[in-house]
Structure 1
Amino acid sequence: MKKTNRPLVLASVMLAMFIGAVEATIVSTAMPSISADLGGFSKYSWVFSAYLLMSTVTVLLYGKLSDIFGRKPIFAFGIILFLIGSLLCGLASSMEQLIFYRFIQGIGAGAVMPIATTIVGDIYTAEERGKIQGYLSSVWGISAVTGPAIGGFLVATIGWEYVFWVNIPLGILALAGVLLFLVEPQKKTKPSIDYLGAFLLTVSLTSFLYWLVEGGVGFAWNSALSYSLSLGAAAVFAVFVLVEKKAKDPMMPFDIWKNKSILYANLVSLFTGMILISVSSYLPTYVTGVMEQPATVAGFTLTAMSIGWPIAAFFSGRLLIKIGYFRTSLAGGIFLVIGSLLFVAMRPEFGPLWAAMSSFMIGVGMGLTSTAFIVSIQAAVTYEQRGTATASNMFMRNLGSTIGVALLGSLLNSSLLKYFQDNERDYTLNSVNGMLTEDSRNQLPVDVLSFLQEGLTQALQNVYSLTAIFAVISFVLIFGLPRKKGVSSNG
């Protein structure tokens, strides 16, 4: 019988992780240029929200489908859709088109990261997983180191379109490797797919996200539309929970959440997702718009997070065996708090090195916690539940990023609008587009540029203050994790 070629499958999975890493950093680096080219700063956060929303909603469904049909067909479907979305994003001629194509890209992305991680959980033993997940996170981070640099270079030379197209050849290689070299056990169970659960979750999250992003900007918080969206989202989510409890094969089996390792790892991941998106979405805007640095330097400040992540992940795999999940996660939580407080203290005159140092600390915190969580969750369940359990953690981190980008985007937009109003200036959010590139800055009068930079600084200060609160909450939640040492497995 043909066996799985573990090194080649691992290499293919690493390529899939590379796509995720590039998506997280390259697009952020290019966004100031994209916004200046296509216009629509008011829709800035939707470029992230559209992608995150669909990848969040679909991640649970893909995790469940991979447990039913196997990892290969679901991984293949996801990566092909992701590559189609990437191609279309580069062809977008307006911000609205780009947002729509990011929806398509996000639907595919929901399969790539969680199933790649689950495949590793399948082909390596519990004792090997800590080390291999550390390698995976390291490769994810090391590849992300090149992302901002490549992104800055592409934007400065041939255009922002190529930050999307760079995914395509690598995605094809990753797909070929998994299809050719992964051998899976035969599936004997009759498939039962929770379509109703998937639909209800999509409606609930979409309504909630739209409410967060547009609230205070597109409509007043105390308007009828605001109340309808928020109450409607809550009601549909309540129905989703009821449906899941009665479903034969639920998309989100709530019984796995009774395990403390899964419950608290997932709750912490919700808040670390918010922290992650805060840094990756808005740091390039701060560095280019306020510090007046080029896209390559903005990329460097994000690269620092991508350096901290793999270094910490590499050691996390070893720390898990020596000091256990709890202490490893706690160390990560401390770094997240330190990093977020450094962002709160940041001032424009501190320069990009301060931004990079803050970013590095966040990266270390993410590397320590994310590796510990994935390994502990995969050790807590059987093979038949591993796809769903791994997806639940990815779902919570993605959900955190989805809520985070909407909440923080809304806070940024409303802070800017209040600043304009308080100073009696007739500016709109799109006025910020003029300060995001050197050419457009040179066309602004000095007093106007200074006024806009002060407004953006204050608005982003509010964003980072909220991020610090998320970091403190995540640190407190880590104390709910079991205090056991070592690694155990359920298959």
Structure 2
Amino acid sequence: MPLGIHCGNDQRLPALVFTVTSTTISRRDIGLRSERGPVLLAVMLSIGLVAIDTTILATAVPSVVEDLGGFAQFPWLFSVYLLTTAVTVPIYGKLADVLGRKPVMLLGIFLFVGGSVLCGFAWSMTGLIVFRAIQGLGAGAVQPMGMTIVGDIYTMEERAKVQGYIASVWAMASLVGPTLGGVFADYLSWRWIFFVNVPIGLAAVWMLRRFDERVERRRTSVDWAGALLLTAGGVLLLLGMLEGGQRWAWDSGTSIAIFAVSVVLLAGFVAVERRAAEPVLPLWVFRRRVLNAAAAGSFLVGCVMLGLSSYVPLYAQHVLGHGAVVAGLALAGMTVGWPIAASQAGRLFLTLGFRATVGLGAVITVLGALLLLTVGPDASFWHLTLPCFVMGLGFGLVASPGVVAAQSSVDWRSRGVATGANMFARSVGSAVGVAVFGAVANAYVADRSGGRVPSLEQVPAGVLAPALHTVFVVSAAISVALLGSALLMPKRVSEPSGEVTGE
């Protein structure tokens, strides 16, 4: 067996991860809550590293540009991080199923903290972008490993509640990150934005010592060809979506070439995976109803969430006339609603089933999107915040049960792959959301500005407000598609009792 608790009679039970002394142990009554608590705290600290980093840098960009220069390059501080994070998630998921969760999580923390230190000492914008890529390589391991460890040490009944704890980390980060970034930039130095990750990372590593994971080592071949093709094809695909319509036109030779090469590489990846002994992303993932339904929901949540994250603060600042802090608080309504719903999702899907719970989340998301359509140029702060909060509730009831269902449908040997595939779908959805919403907004502005897209400061309020409203309309349309993902989800999911490997 790949993993077990070491018991007094040398008995092994699958998917349990702590050293204890006992003669009779079951998964539901293992007497290890004092052990699981520190491990959960370690996971929350690790995910906190990534969560804070996604919000803390944005408020300090002016200070970074003033110090290092490279104003035209600064968007790559975010794009390169997203790229390296997204394309490595499924690779780390596979490694975790072979090597175990703990070594992959530790690797991710060390890469993230090491990249943070290098970012703190960066001497140029180019160097900072390269070091942000290293941070992204670490984040690609930390996020799926945290969710996979939770799937290993908690039962299906417990996972949804724990998902609420994890979601609360993101909620706190959305509030603390921008404020902390502004304080560092104004009163200390923007470099402390990265140095602050060091003590948090060390604390997470220290707490992970309680995670006594036992993995049976076995000979295995490394699917280097598949990993390389997936990475290269994924990077080009995401790059084309992130920069299309921004750095180059969608119908330009550059855009067409990038997408064409990415399709060829990903087709090669599929061909390699069909023959690989240990595929980095097994193709059976795409034949499982539960995994496809969860991935579809995760993809659509990623799309809509980026619409909110990118354009709600813009609307608050440049249409309603609020400052940056107030604009951030309007968006925080979403990150408050998400953990509230996620913490209650377990009670719902255990009573109503996964399909009904995800369906309820989709309906609530659509309701929030429709409320967002009522926001106009004269709206109040609370009028803008309420739809974000309602949509956050919906996201929590779609995303969290989806992850639990995906993890519960496979055994230990496939849980890392299942979790990684789900999170990869959300990353791709986020990139698609950036591309779609950016194209919609730019097309509207260009149509009313003589065929060109001026800088934000030059867009009249009478043009910007309806352009952003068009983005909200698209968000509502994508939200409706969540209802389809709910119909794909089965009502119940049974946890495998044997050594099922995915097929």
Q: TM class, shorter-chain normalised?
A: 0.7 to 0.9
The one of 396, 399, 403 aligned to 1:367: 396
Q: How many residues align?
A: 468
For residues 316-331 of structure 1, what are the structure 2 equivalents within 5 Å? 316-331=345-360
Counterpart for residue 209 of structure 1: 238
1:372 deviates by 0.3
Given that 1:57 and 1:198 are in contact with CA atoms closer than 8 Å, whether structure 2 keeps it comes out as no
Between 1 and 2, higher relative CO (CA 8 Å, sep ≥ 6) is seen in 1
Gaps of 5+ in 2: 1-5, 7-18, 21-31, 499-503
Structure 2 CA distance for aligned equivalents of residues 40 and 351 of structure 1 = 36
Given that 1:28 and 1:281 are in contact with CA atoms closer than 8 Å, whether structure 2 keeps it comes out as no
Counterpart for residue 476 of structure 2: 468
Secondary structure of the corresponding residue to residue 293 of structure 1: coil
Structure 1 CA distance for aligned equivalents of residues 314 and 77 of structure 2 = 14
The one of 84, 102, 116 aligned to 1:54: 84
Could you report, residue by residue, the CA deviation over 1:305-363 in whole angstroms, capped at 9, with x for unpaired residues?
12101110111121121111111111111122222333344333213322321221221
Structure 2 CA distance for aligned equivalents of residues 230 and 267 of structure 1 = 22
Going from structure 1 to structure 2, the CA distance change for 1:228 and 1:140 (only over 3 Å counts) comes to closer
1:245 deviates by 1.4
Asked if 1:384 is matched to 2:413, the reply is yes
Asked if 1:274 is matched to 2:282, the reply is no
Q: Which amino acid aligns with 1:274?
A: C
For residues 255-270 of structure 1, what are the structure 2 equivalents within 5 Å? 255-270=284-299
Q: Which amino acid aligns with 1:22?
A: I
Given that 1:126 and 1:487 are in contact with CA atoms closer than 8 Å, whether structure 2 keeps it comes out as no
Structure 2 CA distance for aligned equivalents of residues 40 and 428 of structure 1 = 20
Given that 2:160 and 2:342 are in contact with CA atoms closer than 8 Å, whether structure 1 keeps it comes out as no
The one of 41, 47, 62 aligned to 1:17: 47
Structure 1 CA distance for aligned equivalents of residues 381 and 478 of structure 2 = 23
Asked if 1:250 is matched to 2:279, the reply is yes
Secondary structure of the corresponding residue to residue 335 of structure 2: helix
Counterpart for residue 312 of structure 1: 341
Structure 2 CA distance for aligned equivalents of residues 38 and 175 of structure 1 = 32
Query: TM-score, structure 1 length as denominator?
Result: 0.85
Going from structure 1 to structure 2, the CA distance change for 1:366 and 1:476 (only over 3 Å counts) comes to same
Could you report, residue by residue, the CA deviation over 1:69-126 in whole angstroms, capped at 9, with x for unpaired residues?
1111111111121123334445557665544333222111000111011111112233
Structure 2 CA distance for aligned equivalents of residues 309 and 39 of structure 1 = 37
For residues 21-420 of structure 1, what are the structure 2 equivalents within 5 Å? 21-28=51-58, 46-90=76-120, 96-155=126-185, 157-158=187-188, 160-178=190-208, 180-413=209-442, 415-420=444-449
Going from structure 1 to structure 2, the CA distance change for 1:170 and 1:410 (only over 3 Å counts) comes to farther
| Segment drifting more, 35-44 vs 321-330 | 35-44
Secondary structure of the corresponding residue to residue 488 of structure 2: coil
| Segment drifting more, 186-195 vs 65-74 | 186-195
Q: Which amino acid aligns with 2:91?
A: L
Given that 1:200 and 1:236 are in contact with CA atoms closer than 8 Å, whether structure 2 keeps it comes out as yes
Structure 1 CA distance for aligned equivalents of residues 62 and 355 of structure 2 = 39
Structure 2 CA distance for aligned equivalents of residues 320 and 279 of structure 1 = 27
Structure 1 CA distance for aligned equivalents of residues 51 and 247 of structure 2 = 32
Q: Which amino acid aligns with 1:17?
A: I
Structure 2 CA distance for aligned equivalents of residues 206 and 266 of structure 1 = 19
Given that 2:144 and 2:423 are in contact with CA atoms closer than 8 Å, whether structure 1 keeps it comes out as yes
Structure 2 CA distance for aligned equivalents of residues 142 and 218 of structure 1 = 33
1:40 deviates by 7.3
Structure 1 CA distance for aligned equivalents of residues 196 and 376 of structure 2 = 34
1:12 deviates by 0.6
Could you report, residue by residue, the CA deviation over 1:43-80 in whole angstroms, capped at 9, with x for unpaired residues?
67544332222111100000111111111111111112
Given that 1:148 and 1:303 are in contact with CA atoms closer than 8 Å, whether structure 2 keeps it comes out as no
Secondary structure of the corresponding residue to residue 383 of structure 2: helix
1:25 deviates by 3.5
| Segment drifting more, 154-163 vs 258-267 | 154-163
Structure 2 CA distance for aligned equivalents of residues 47 and 324 of structure 1 = 41
Structure 1 CA distance for aligned equivalents of residues 312 and 67 of structure 2 = 19
Secondary structure of the corresponding residue to residue 373 of structure 1: helix
Going from structure 1 to structure 2, the CA distance change for 1:210 and 1:124 (only over 3 Å counts) comes to closer
What is the identity percentage for the equivalent residue pairs of Structure 1 and Structure 2? 38
Going from structure 1 to structure 2, the CA distance change for 1:155 and 1:278 (only over 3 Å counts) comes to farther
Going from structure 1 to structure 2, the CA distance change for 1:46 and 1:111 (only over 3 Å counts) comes to same
Greater percentage in helix: 1
1:368 deviates by 1.2
1:481 deviates by 0.9
The one of 461, 465, 472 aligned to 1:457: 465
Secondary structure of the corresponding residue to residue 183 of structure 1: coil
Structure 2 CA distance for aligned equivalents of residues 97 and 465 of structure 1 = 39
Could you report, residue by residue, the CA deviation over 1:216-239 in whole angstroms, capped at 9, with x for unpaired residues?
443333333332222222222111
Could you report, residue by residue, the CA deviation over 1:24-50 in whole angstroms, capped at 9, with x for unpaired residues?
433455567767987878767544332
The one of 476, 483, 491 aligned to 1:483: 491
Going from structure 1 to structure 2, the CA distance change for 1:203 and 1:418 (only over 3 Å counts) comes to farther
Going from structure 1 to structure 2, the CA distance change for 1:26 and 1:236 (only over 3 Å counts) comes to same
Gaps of 5+ in 1: 436-447
| Segment drifting more, 336-345 vs 192-201 | 336-345
Structure 1 CA distance for aligned equivalents of residues 446 and 195 of structure 2 = 35
Structure 2 CA distance for aligned equivalents of residues 74 and 455 of structure 1 = 48
Structure 2 CA distance for aligned equivalents of residues 383 and 83 of structure 1 = 28
Secondary structure of the corresponding residue to residue 406 of structure 2: helix
Structure 2 CA distance for aligned equivalents of residues 419 and 32 of structure 1 = 30
Counterpart for residue 444 of structure 1: none
Counterpart for residue 11 of structure 2: none
Going from structure 1 to structure 2, the CA distance change for 1:64 and 1:131 (only over 3 Å counts) comes to same
Given that 1:30 and 1:295 are in contact with CA atoms closer than 8 Å, whether structure 2 keeps it comes out as no
Q: Which amino acid aligns with 1:130?
A: A
Secondary structure of the corresponding residue to residue 421 of structure 1: coil
Given that 1:18 and 1:144 are in contact with CA atoms closer than 8 Å, whether structure 2 keeps it comes out as no
